[in-house]
Amino acid sequence: MSGLGGLNKSPNGVGIGLVQLQLPVTETKEDLKAQTEKVCEMVRKAKRFTAPTDIVVFPEYMLHGLSMSMDDAIMCDIDGPEVQAFKDVCKENEIWGCFSIMEYNPNGNPYNTGLIIDDKGEIKLNFRKLHPWVPVEPWEPGDLGLPVCEGPNSSTLGLAICHDGMFPEVTRELAYKGADIILRTAGYTAPIHHSWRITNQSNAFCNLAYTASVAMCGSDGTNDSMGEGMIVNFDGVPMVEGSNRPDEIITGEVRPDLVREARTHWALENNMYQLGHRGYVAVEGGVTDAPYTYMTDLQNGTYRLPWEDDIVHTDGQDYGFPAPRKK
């Protein structure tokens, strides 16, 4: 069910617009200002293009491009002019937005930050990417956990940024906190095409949640991002799939009420519940232990692979970055 790509809105639906934004080249403060205005204009276009759209989702690197520059001149602040522009345009158009900034960090490398802003212009979710795509991304690993927020039309939203979505633990945590729509924003290039599709599908099915995902699109003269906006149903089946056309807006409708129904009424494959209630047919209420060694090792700070001593890449120096700034 996608309401003919979001053209038709049901009373319980949430209309999503995924913006396959043209990959920019941002080198100066003036470039940053111009790209901020382009993003704002795309918000206005989304509202004009499909009026029932409730939330418009932009890719990771929408302002910064893929240069991996950490130049202070083009970093952003939560209370800076770029974020204020996004607040204003969401309020102006009475639409929710999901945005990406590279956030200045006075105590280390910048953060790769995602923001969800509501239709009143208020920040509802502030998330810093947990898993930078090492060794080719220099960003400080996120320190705000994995928040969720109330979204449009009684939905609950979670956000994973790019490589975060390759870790099943990330989307499981978002679903565990109640997210019925999991957004995923990315700057991925074409070699990740297959991994992108299968993880978006598995993240949906394994957590009984919709996933709505979009990457940057087009070329900056060096990098070629893939676009590939897609909305996946909570049974893992793609509902809407985009293309590789820059600045195209992929639209569709999802039904959070059907997620809630599945999570409470499904017996077979109700994986979120069954993870913590193993074998409830044989044992009353199921077994509620954690039989997974990696979980307890992570918790205890003792996570170590059997092949750890043979790992080749453990920092970014082979990819042109300096040694890590922090111990």
The residues annotated as belonging to the active site are 60, 129, 162
Cβ–Cβ under 8 Å, residues 166 and 186: no
Q: How far is CA 48 from CA 94, 308, 315, in A?
A: 12, 53, 45
Cβ–Cβ under 8 Å, residues 253 and 50: no
Q: What is the 3-state secondary structure (H, E, C) of the chain?
A: CCHHHHCCCCCCCEEEEEEECECCCCCCHHHHHHHHHHHHHHHHHHHHHCCCEEEEECCCCCCCCCCCCCCHHHCECCCCHHHHHHHHHHHHHCCEEEEEEEECCCCCCCEEEEEEECCCCCEEEEEECCCCCCCCCCCECCCCCCCEEECHHHCEEEEEEHHHHHCHHHHHHHHHCCCCEEEEEECCEHHHHHHHHHHHHHHHHHHCCEEEEEECEEECCCCEEECCCEEECCCCCEEEECCCCCCEEEEEEECHHHHHHHHHHCCCCCHHHHHCCECCCCCCCCECCCCCHHHHHHHHCCCCCCCHHHCCCCCCHHHCCCCCCCC
Longest dimension (CA), the chain: 65
